[in-house]
């Protein structure tokens, strides 16, 4: 079934940054392969928003900050926090967008994860599930109600952005083939289950592009 983007829709392109692509510090398998699809999708939307994971040194999500191994979990003040290799350090090449991302009409670049003591997977709420990024206010003030999500990573930042967006009253659709997962044990299955529970639709890019 085809879907035609409307003037009150937005495409949210999540964290298409070098560190999440092959060769990067937290690389997602085939993370670069979705770039052409995302560029083509963006052409169909009047409103495109990019998110950028943007961490300071000694960030709470870095395993090195805690002298632990990547992918272990710690108890942060706000709950469990997965530890990652150092990635998306502010103003480094790893934090830059993939050089083939070509979306000149993107209207907002939303940075997240810039507080040393709180990580932020979601584009809406930081990992304390309380601190707001301001994105919901931006979207509401501009009358943007239906959101199409794509990018990296399917099972972390795309997942939590879609779940929080839905809870905040936006209709969220995830373009599955325009996203790729980190794939920790069970993370993709848990993401798909969470999408069903929340009512997040999974769609394919051909439903917009064909
Ligand atoms: C992400 C882990 C750590 C993501 C960001 O963009 O999905 N994952 N920081
Ligand atoms: Zn991060």
Question: Are 77 and 18 in contact, with CB atoms under 8 Å apart?
Answer: no
Is residue 84 lining ligand 1, measured as CB closer than 6 Å? yes
Question: Are 167 and 138 in contact, with CB atoms under 8 Å apart?
Answer: no
| Residue of 84, 154, 183 to test ligand 1 pocket, by largest number of atoms within 8 Å of CB | 84
- In order of their start, the domains of the chain are 9-57+87-209 (3.40.50.850)
d(CA 189, CA 163): 15
Please give the model's pTM, rounded to 2 decimal places: 0.98
**Regions of the chain where pLDDT drops below 50:** none
Is residue 152 lining ligand 1, measured as CB closer than 6 Å? yes
What pLDDT digit, counting tens, does each position of 137-170 carry? Answer: 999 999 999 999 999 999 999 999 999 999 999 9
CA–centroid distance, 129 to ligand 1, in Å, is 16
Question: Are 187 and 156 in contact, with CB atoms under 8 Å apart?
Answer: yes
Kindly report the backbone phi and psi dihedral angles of residue 49, in degrees, each rounded to the nearest multiple of 5, phi listed first. Answer: -120, 130
Average pLDDT for the chain: 98
Interface pTM (ipTM) of the complex? 0.99
CA–centroid distance, 45 to ligand 1, in Å, is 25
The owner of tokens 């009358």 is: 143
Residues 6+ apart with CB under 8 A from 121: 127, 156, 157, 159, 160, 161
- Quick one: how far is CA 73 from the chain centroid? 20
């Amino acid at each position: 079934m085809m879907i035609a983007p409307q003037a009150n829709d937005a495409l949210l392109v999540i964290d298409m940054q070098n560190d999440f692509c092959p060769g990067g510090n937290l690389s997602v398998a085939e993370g670069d392969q979705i770039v052409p699809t995302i560029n083509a999708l963006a052409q169909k939307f009047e409103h495109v928003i990019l998110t950028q994971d943007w961490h300071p040194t000694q960030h709470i999500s870095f395993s090195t900050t805690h002298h632990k191994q990547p992918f272990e979990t710690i108890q942060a003040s706000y709950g469990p926090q997965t530890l990652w290799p150092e990635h998306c350090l502010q103003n480094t090449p790893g934090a830059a967008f993939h050089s083939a991302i070509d979306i000149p009409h993107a209207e907002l670049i939303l940075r997240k994860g810039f507080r040393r003591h709180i990580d932020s997977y979601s584009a809406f709420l930081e990992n304390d599930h309380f601190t707001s990024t301001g994105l919901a206010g931006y979207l509401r003030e501009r009358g943007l109600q239906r959101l199409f999500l794509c990018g990296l990573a399917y099972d972390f930042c795309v997942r939590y952005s879609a779940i929080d967006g839905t809870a905040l009253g936006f209709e969220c659709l995830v373009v599955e083939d325009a996203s790729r997962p980190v794939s920790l044990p069970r993370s993709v299955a848990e993401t798909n289950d969470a999408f069903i529970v929340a009512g997040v639709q999974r769609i394919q890019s051909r439903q917009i592009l064909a």
